[in-house]
Amino acid sequence: MDQYQSPLTDRYASAEVSKIFSPQMRYSTWRTLWLNLAKAEKKLGLAQITDEAISQMEAHVVLTEDDFRIAAEEEKKRRHDVMAHVHAFGQVAPAATGIIHLGATSCFVTDNADLILLRDGFDHLIPKLVNVIDRLSKFADEHKSLPTLGWTHLQPAQLTTVGKRSCMWIQTQDLLWDLRNLRRARDDIGFRGVKGTTGTQASFLTLFDGDHEKVEELDELVTKLCGFDYSYPITGQTYSRKIDVDLCASISSFGVTAHKLATDLRLLANFKEIEEPFEEDQIGSSAMAYKRNPMRCERICSLSRHLMTLWNNTTMTAATQWMERTLDDSANRRITLPEMFITADIVLNTLLNVVSDLVIYPQIISRRIGAELPFMATENIIMAMVKKGGDRQESHEKIRVLSHEASANVKLGGGDNDLVERVRKDQFFSPILDELDAIVDPKTFIGRAPQQVDKFLRNEVAKALNSYQKDLNRIKIELHV
């Protein structure tokens, strides 16, 4: 414990996403790529690639501790990670020593492996996002008609409902938009393929004695063996780093949504209206035993900020690639790309934990409405008086005076908003007293919020989640700390 460890993997991340970007996964993927390249080259007629070479490579795709030790020793000498692993692979597959990496450049394994791991990363994130949307949708449906005070400029505004507000977190500008973005980004991932040193395939053209068709077939064979439908037709030594910009933009954009959602929940926790789950033995504060700090939502906000900033690395890297490539992208991408997915995974895990067990306090919500609604109802009271034959200006003046009195009672006297009671006691308003309870009923101030929720969940959410039914409710909700 005397060396720095990343809290992303040591403290927060799930084992699944850590495994995707682990050394074992990366380097065994390199070996799989070399194996697939050799298989395709053999199929296309390169006689120097024997069945024994293929067999030995297949038997040693997964690295052992000795493999890692040999590769580390070689890299210290050669200062080249790919060649160090070529050597280590040759140690356990001696029949393939002369043909491992045949015709390829380092980016054949590094870039193609990155694309495989990025695709696997999206396949890991998307089902979790689907479950967040599904759980939040159930909460929205349950509370679609529960009135709550709306806020604009963080000042009391017209009522909405708890369910309607929840749908604002899900709606097409937020979580559903993120689902669309992640799905599109995942489906757009191609394969760098077999392109050679500067992307011209010159080395492979030499291998196949100038046969262009065989070179194209080699690219197609390896692409299919690695589980891709197509490879990028034009590359330099690397695939375009603009692809990283596009892929990571979708994940950073999710960070924006998560931060906004968690911030709203932190504010609602302050209002004591809705809280994240709080465990029986959980401690909110080391000094103030009564506190229930929203630590999960705070973590979401904290890591979402990190997630949003990572995208900037991909833009700067893409912008500074000289000609066919430079190596100043390598160290940056080793950090940025795994952290992008690991951080998103942590945020999704925490968010899923929060929305699966939100705690709601209807009485507090009702009390807060009671403190503000009477003022909002003044126009309705005036209109009701006019309908009974009253004078609008006189009604307006009466309610204005009573409103100021009620406001003074709240602000100066520290009392409750008693405007409705003042109206009830004033004989001027006797024509509408039998209607007063209905006039100030919160449900008359929520407009079409319940109907909007019903339509949104039925049309937009159900449609978006329809193809993910197999992923629903299979995600284990687990927080490491």
Question: In the predicted model, is pLDDT for residue 195 greater than 70?
Answer: yes
Domain count across the chain: 3
Which tens digits make up the pLDDT trace of 330-354? 889 999 999 999 999 999 999 999 9
Report yes or no on 334 lying in a domain. yes
* Confidence check: pLDDT of 289 > 70: no
pLDDT tens digits for range 97-123: 999 999 999 999 999 999 999 999 999
Contact 135, 433 (CB under 8 A): no
- Looking at residue 279, what is its pLDDT? 66
CATH number at residue 435: 1.10.40
3-state SS record for the chain: CCCCCCHHHHHHCCHHHHHHCCHHHHHHHHHHHHHHHHHHHHHCCCCCCCHHHHHHHHHCCCCCHHHHHHHHHHHHHHCCHHHHHHHHHHHHCHHHCCCCCCCCCHHHHHHHHHHHHHHHHHHHHHHHHHHHHHHHHHHHHHCCCCEEEEEECCEEEEEEEHHHHHHHHHCCCCHHHHHHHHHHHHHCCCECCCCCCCCCCHHHHHHCCCCHHHHHHHHHHHHHHCCCCCECCCCCCCCCCHHHHHHHHHHHHHHHHHHHHHHHHHHHHHCCCEECCCCCCCCCCCCCCCCCCCHHHHHHHHHHHHHHHHHHHHHHHHHCCCCCCCHHHHHHHHHHHHHHHHHHHHHHHHHHHHHCCCEECHHHHHHHHHHHHHHHCHHHHHHHHHHCCCCHHHHHHHHHHHHHHHHHHHHCCCCCCCHHHHHHHCHHHHHHHHHHHHHCCHHHHCCCHHHHHHHHHHHHHHHHHHHHHHHCCCCCCCCCC
Whether the pLDDT of residue 85 is over 60: the answer is yes
CA dist., res. 386 & res. 391, Å (int): 6
Q: What is the mean pLDDT of residues 379-392?
A: 90
In this prediction, residues 439-445 reach a mean pLDDT of 89
Domain final residue pick, 104, 120, 155: 104
Q: Does residue 219 lie within any of the structural domains?
A: no
Is residue 301 pLDDT above 60, yes or no? yes
**CA 70/CA 278 separation, integer angstroms:** 49
Q: Which domain holds residue 59?
A: 13-104
168-182: per-residue pLDDT in tens? 998 756 899 999 999
Q: Is 286 assigned a catalytic role?
A: no
Q: How many whole angstroms separate alpha carbon 41 and alpha carbon 48?
A: 10
Q: Is residue 467 part of a domain?
A: yes
Of the candidates 6, 285, 302, 430, the residue annotated as catalytic is 285
pLDDT higher than 80, residue 1: no
Residue 317 and residue 434 in one domain: no
**What CATH number should be reported for the domain holding residue 352?**
1.20.200.10
Residue 5 is assigned to a structural domain of this protein:
no
pLDDT at 223: 97
- Mean pLDDT for the stretch of residues 312-337: 91
Q: To 10 degrees, what angle do helices 106-142 and 175-187 make?
A: 150
What integer pLDDT is reported at residue 55 of this predicted model?
97
Residue 220 located in a structural domain: no
Among this protein's residues, is 285 annotated catalytic? yes
pLDDT value of position 281: 59
Q: What confidence score (pLDDT) does residue 370 get?
A: 87
> Per-residue confidence at 481, pLDDT binned at 50, 70, 90?
low
Question: Does 46 lie in the same domain as 66?
Answer: yes
Which residues is 359 bridged to in the sheet?
A: 275
Q: Is residue 181 located within the same domain as residue 289? A: yes
The fraction of the chain above a pLDDT of 90, given in percent, is 71
pLDDT of residue 292: 76
Same domain, 279 and 388: no
In this predicted structure, the answer to whether residue 283 has a pLDDT above a threshold of 60 is no
Residue 293: is it exposed, middle or buried by C-beta count within 10 angstroms (0-12/13-18/19+)? middle
Residue 145 in domain: yes
In this prediction, residue 290 carries a pLDDT of 59
Select from 179, 316, 308, 184 the least CA-distant residue to 253. 308
